[in-house]
Structure 1
Amino acid sequence: MKNPKVSVIVICYNQRDTIRRALDSVLAQEDCDYEVIIGDDASADGTREVCEEYARRYPGRVRLMPAAPNKGVVDNYFDCFDAARGEYVADCAGDDYWLGTRRLAEMCGVLDSRSDVNTVYSDFEILDLSTGKSRLASTDPEYSRWLGGDTEGRSLLADILGHVGPLPYLLSASVYRKKALMEVYSKHRHMVRNRAFGCEDLPVMAALARSGAAAYLPMPTMSYSVGGETITHNRSVERQLGFYCATLEASRVLGEFYGVGQAQMAEMFRAKSRYMANMAFKSRRHGLVGKVADTVGRWHLSVGIKTKIYLLLGRIL
């Protein structure tokens, strides 16, 4: 069987109400040969049954990964990546959806014509679930500062690892070369697939930027959902702090691996460490304060005075 041009990874967990919309938006793509690989992470709300329905309806196009105990987002994503047969890779979360019918065709056209580019990314719609309102990322100052022309890989690498606020682009609003990621993944697997990093997008984007540029497509190609969960109790605080600690550690480890100096990440380090220390202090949980202090202490950079105060008081009170 001929391999498809693109492998589209759709990962989901307990998203029965939105997974049909996500899959329909991917399957609406035209003028491009692609496969869809669904990774359902042990959903308990009927999501898997919907995915099974799509696998039956679209044999040869849609593949559903075997049922397995809950893996977490990192292993779920990379199990799908390992199964991908396409030259290029794209993804869509189960609560997001793509816009239009030519996203893959347009992005693949850029990759086909430009060997210096590893990633093509686009504008996207931000859907606020708490208000039901949407806006384009290109009109939002927090996101629009990143959206523009082509970005050289080495410059992009520093921006990815040292970003303050959103990442320079959404991995789910892009298509990338599988071969470029495999250059790192096959030799240094733990620098791409690592549960301790707490995420899949940061290490993937870093590996891609290592050897190629990113090209911008000035058209919205997906709807990205935000505001679905707020931190309202200590369990949520613990989960959120765990994520921030993991991604801060990921930036440190990946920076050492790719030769991005900590001085280039200083603004991010100080902003994130201050935010984490404040959150840990407000939680009144010594264990969380200690976790933040340990994570921050692995860096060679000094924290700001507010961070020091939060961590000191957090241990005392």
Structure 2
Amino acid sequence: MPLPRVSIICLCYNHERFLKEALDSALAQTYPNLELIVVDDSSTDNSPTIIDEYCRRFPQISFISTGQNVGNTKAFNIGWRASEGEFIIDFATDDVLLPDRVEKQVNQFLALDKSYGVVYSDAAYIDDHSNFLHLHSQKYKPSLDADVFREVLKRYFICPPTMMMRREVLEELNGYDETLAYEDFDFWVRSARNWNYSYLPEITTKRRLHHNSLSAKYYTSDGKMLRSTLEVCQKAVKLLRTKDEKTALIQRLKYEIRHAYLTNHFTETKQFLKLLRDITPNPGVISQLITRLSNSEISLSFIRRLYYSLRYGKS
């Protein structure tokens, strides 16, 4: 019986410094039935030249240029819709795949029934120079199997670049929502409603932390990412089935309210507060206090900076 085809969608935007290491890691996979599609989102650095060089050396790589900067969600959709794999990996080319990543995750899928749409795993975080920082599992545990819908509403625990997705999941969702500034939370909420997730307790990926990464800009942007989170929470309200799921979403909203307020995103704070009041008559004392403070746009951002300075040694 032939092995299922796996498509690695390699997303590049100004990853010149990391691109060779990333592509080499994809090419070094021990799994034989691979399709590599590099989508460059109109990089302004030397990334396209490096990709062209790799395509000449390795004809198994396909190269798609978006022509103009379209953003991560649309760039990924362009890539996976051009692919043929039964399983899909969304691979940012500032990260690194361990050699047996694909092989282990396919084996995990083959041991599961068809209700499972995503396999995810542990990851090692690295810095700009590929130095080890910490494991994902050291900060976010426990990791869960099967029905994770309630848990993804409540908290962050899945390391996004470790996911391998069944193609049918993306087809059912029509890919990522291209109106959003980032994809993770929305994908988890929409897919976990109908599909099971399986956790592989092994390190399969090195995730790079650097100042230009999307996650690093979550609270320092102009609010686009917070507004995307709000839209996903609004979608989630319509997907709730149980009291526990509603409680989980309330917990998420309270978390987002605190951090939006403490980063001086007053407009987004008010929008999250409105959604919270729409789904519960008792938003809590802290949320009521933040309502008054945000209406007056009183900044307490120093509290968040002090907390991160004391806990992590950074602002």
SS at match of 2:67: coil
SS at match of 2:296: helix
Task: Tell me what 1:88 maps to.
Answer: 87
Amino acid at match of 1:174: M
- Relative distance call for 1:57 and 1:181 in structure 2 (3 A) is same
SS at match of 1:314: coil
SS at match of 1:298: helix
1:204 paired with 2:187, answer yes
1:263 to 247, 257, 280: 247
User: In the aligned structure 2, how far is the partner of 1:269 from the partner of 1:305?
Assistant: 13
Q: Is the 8 A contact 1:97 1:224 kept in 2?
A: yes
SS at match of 2:17: coil
- Tell me by how many angstroms 1:8 deviates: 0.4
Q: Is the 8 A contact 1:32 1:104 kept in 2?
A: no
- Relative distance call for 1:130 and 1:98 in structure 2 (3 A) is closer
User: In the aligned structure 2, how far is the partner of 1:201 from the partner of 1:253?
Assistant: 14
- Tell me by how many angstroms 1:295 deviates: 4.4
Task: Tell me what 1:106 maps to.
Answer: 104
- Relative distance call for 1:259 and 1:38 in structure 2 (3 A) is farther
1:146 paired with 2:123, answer no
User: In the aligned structure 2, how far is the partner of 1:52 from the partner of 1:120?
Assistant: 31
Q: Is the 8 A contact 1:3 1:86 kept in 2?
A: no
Amino acid at match of 1:270: K
Q: Is the 8 A contact 1:289 1:315 kept in 2?
A: no
User: In the aligned structure 2, how far is the partner of 1:81 from the partner of 1:313?
Assistant: 46
Which structure 1 segments of 5+ residues have no match?
186-191, 281-287
- Relative distance call for 1:104 and 1:245 in structure 2 (3 A) is same
SS at match of 1:135: strand
Say what the alpha-carbon RMSD is for the aligned residues.
2.9
1:182 to 154, 159, 171: 171
Task: Tell me what 1:245 maps to.
Answer: 227
- Tell me by how many angstroms 1:237 deviates: 5.8
1:159 paired with 2:141, answer no
- Relative distance call for 1:295 and 1:68 in structure 2 (3 A) is farther
Q: Give the TM-score taking structure 1 as reference length.
A: 0.81
Amino acid at match of 2:45: D
User: In the aligned structure 2, how far is the partner of 1:86 from the partner of 1:216?
Assistant: 21
User: In the aligned structure 1, how far is the partner of 2:22 from the partner of 2:273?
Assistant: 38
- Relative distance call for 1:209 and 1:26 in structure 2 (3 A) is same
SS at match of 1:26: helix
- Relative distance call for 1:34 and 1:207 in structure 2 (3 A) is farther
- Tell me by how many angstroms 1:121 deviates: 1.3
Q: Is the 8 A contact 2:124 2:206 kept in 1?
A: yes
User: In the aligned structure 2, how far is the partner of 1:128 from the partner of 1:136?
Assistant: 12
Task: State the percentage of identical aligned residues.
Answer: 21
Task: Tell me what 1:173 maps to.
Answer: 162
Q: More deviation in 45-54 or 236-245?
A: 236-245
- Relative distance call for 1:278 and 1:21 in structure 2 (3 A) is same
- Tell me by how many angstroms 1:269 deviates: 0.7
Amino acid at match of 2:145: T
2:275 to 270, 280, 298: 298
Task: Tell me what 2:71 maps to.
Answer: 72
1:308 to 264, 268, 291: 291
Q: Is the 8 A contact 1:171 1:205 kept in 2?
A: no
Which structure 2 segments of 5+ residues have no match?
300-315
SS at match of 1:248: helix
Task: Tell me what 2:310 maps to.
Answer: none
1:217 paired with 2:188, answer no
Q: Give the TM-score taking structure 2 as reference length.
A: 0.81
